[in-house]
Structure 1
Amino acid sequence: MNPKEFLTPYIIANVFAVLMILIGWKKPRTGKIIWGFIFLAAGLFNLFHGITKPDAYLAYGEQAVFPFLRDFINGTFSHMTTPIVALIAVGQMMIGFFLLYRSNRLTRPGIVGGILFLIGIAPLGIGSAFPSSLLMAASLILIYIHLPSRE
C-alpha cells in the first residue's frame, strides 16, 4: 500500500485527536458523548466491513510495527478475519454505549475500555494513524479525570 494513500487520513486523525484532547480537558461531558458516537459508528462500520470486505483488514499487517503482530495478522487473523473483526466491533459498540450511558457507573468502565482499545491499536503504526490513537487515549484520560465523580 502506498504511504501517500494514508497522508490525508493520517493528518485528519491526528488533528482530530488534538481537538479531542482540548474538548476532553475543557468539556468532558461533550467529549464523552462525541467518543460514544464515534465508538458506536466505528463498531457498526467494522461489523459491516468485517462481514462484507474482510480482506481489507489484512492490509494492517503490512503496517504493523511488531513482527509478531504482522505474523498474527497474516496467519491466524487472515483465516478468521470476520469473527475476530465482529468481536472487536461488538467491543467498540459496547464502549460506545457505556460512554453514552447517563450514569458514570458504566461510563467510567467504558472510558477505560476506550483507552485500552486505542492503546492496543497503536502498534498498527500508520494503519492506526500513529500517534493519533495515543493522543485519542489521552483525551479519554482527560475525560475520565475531569468528569464529575457522581452523575
Structure 2
Amino acid sequence: MEALDTTIITVYIVVNSLSVLQLIASFRWPLVARIGFFVLFLGAAIINTRTGLETPWLYQDFADYAIPLYRRFILGSFESIITPMVQSIAVGQLLIAASMFMEGNWFRAGCLGGIIFCLAITPLGFSAAFPATLLMAMAFYQLYRRGNNRLNKKEVATRTLALPFN
C-alpha cells in the first residue's frame, strides 16, 4: 500500500510540475505549449478510450476526492453511463489535441474546449491533480489570447525554434 501511495504522490507532483511548465511555455514558447497539449490530450484520449471500454468501473474511484456534487453523480447516475460518457470525453480530448495544430477559429475553439475541460474536472480535486487543472486552463487561455501565432517572427526568419534550453 505504501508503494502505491508513493506512486500516486509522485505522479501528482510530476503532473503539477508539468502544468507549471505548460503555463510558462504558453507565455514564452507557444509552439512548445501547443505540442505539450497535443501530447497530453492525445495520450488522455487513448487512455480514456481503452480504460472506458475495458475497465470502466475504475472511474468511480474519482469520487474519493471529488466535491460532494460530483461524488453523488459519480457514485449514482454515472455508473450506468460510464462507457458512453468516457468515450464522449475521449472524443473531446482528441479534438482538443488535433486543434493544437490548426489555425484561426479551429485553434481558438480547441483552446476554449481545453479551458472548459480543465475547469470541468477541477472539482475532482486530488484525482484530477488539482491545482494542475487550473494552471492548464490558464495556459490554454494565454494561447487563446495569443491567437494562432505558431511562431514568432524571429523563429520564422531564422527557420529555428527557440526551445526552453536554447
Check whether TM > 0.5: yes
Select which of 50, 53, 56 maps to 2:55: 53
Q: Identity percentage over the alignment?
A: 34
Unmatched tracts of structure 2, length 5 or more: 152-166
What is the Cα deviation at residue 148 of structure 1? Answer: 4.6
> SS at the partner of 2:76?
helix
The CA RMSD over aligned residues, in Å, is 2.1
* Distance in 1 separating the partners of 2:23 and 2:150: 22
- Asked if the contact 1:29–1:143 (Cα under 8 Å) also holds between the matched residues in 2, the reply is no
Q: Which amino acid aligns with 1:143?
A: L
Q: Which amino acid aligns with 2:119?
A: I
Q: Determine which structure has greater relative contact order: mean sequence separation of CA pairs < 8 Å that are 6+ residues apart, divided by chain length.
A: 1
Matching residue of 1:84: 85
TM-score for both structures, normalised by structure 1: 0.90
Matching residue of 2:17: 15
Matching residue of 1:93: 94
1:105 counterpart = 2:102:
no
Unmatched tracts of structure 1, length 5 or more: none
- Asked if the contact 1:6–1:126 (Cα under 8 Å) also holds between the matched residues in 2, the reply is no
TM-score for both structures, normalised by structure 2: 0.82
> SS at the partner of 1:17?
helix
What is the Cα deviation at residue 57 of structure 1? Answer: 0.6
* Distance in 2 separating the partners of 1:51 and 1:109: 28
Structure 1 runs, 4 residues or longer, greater than 4 Å off? 148-151
> SS at the partner of 2:130?
coil
What is the Cα deviation at residue 150 of structure 1? Answer: 9.1
Matching residue of 2:75: 74
* Distance in 1 separating the partners of 2:44 and 2:149: 28
- Asked if the contact 1:108–1:144 (Cα under 8 Å) also holds between the matched residues in 2, the reply is yes
What is the Cα deviation at residue 10 of structure 1? Answer: 1.0
Q: For the structure 1 residues 147 and 120, does the alpha-carbon distance in structure 2 shift closer, same or farther, using more than 3 Å as the test?
A: same
* Partner deviation per Cα, 1:99-142 (whole Å, 9 max, x = no partner): 222x2221010001001100110000100011110011111112
Larger radius of gyration: 2
* Distance in 2 separating the partners of 1:23 and 1:147: 15
What is the Cα deviation at residue 43 of structure 1? Answer: 0.8
